[in-house]
Amino acid sequence: MKWVLGIGLGAVTVIWLAMEIATVDDKGKGFGSYSKAFKKSLIGVISLFVVAGVIYYGLIY
């Protein structure tokens, strides 16, 4: 049951971080600009989390 909480917390963290980065990268041209920045930052944040997970579990197990 703890793993469900961990996955949920990880997903919320990824979305929150992507939204923060998108807010900084937004060009101020409305929702379309924010949406593009969010998608771009979401891909970057997910890739960073995947790399961190591989390194973490690679070194632990």
* Predicted local confidence at residue 39, as pLDDT: 95
**Tokens for 51?**
């790399």
Of 14, 6, 8, the C-alpha closest to 41 is 14
**pLDDT block averages, 10 residues each, the chain of length 61:** 87 95 87 92 95 90 72
> Could you tell me the sign of the dihedral formed by the alpha carbons of 49, 54, 55, 56, in that order?
positive
Phi, psi of 28 (to 5 degrees): 80, 25
* Predicted local confidence at residue 17, as pLDDT: 96
* Predicted local confidence at residue 2, as pLDDT: 82
Q: Are 19 and 38 in contact (CB under 8 A)?
A: yes
Amino acid 61 reads Y
The model carries a pTM of 0.80
**Tokens for 8?**
């949920």
* Predicted local confidence at residue 61, as pLDDT: 72
Domain ranges of the chain: 2-60
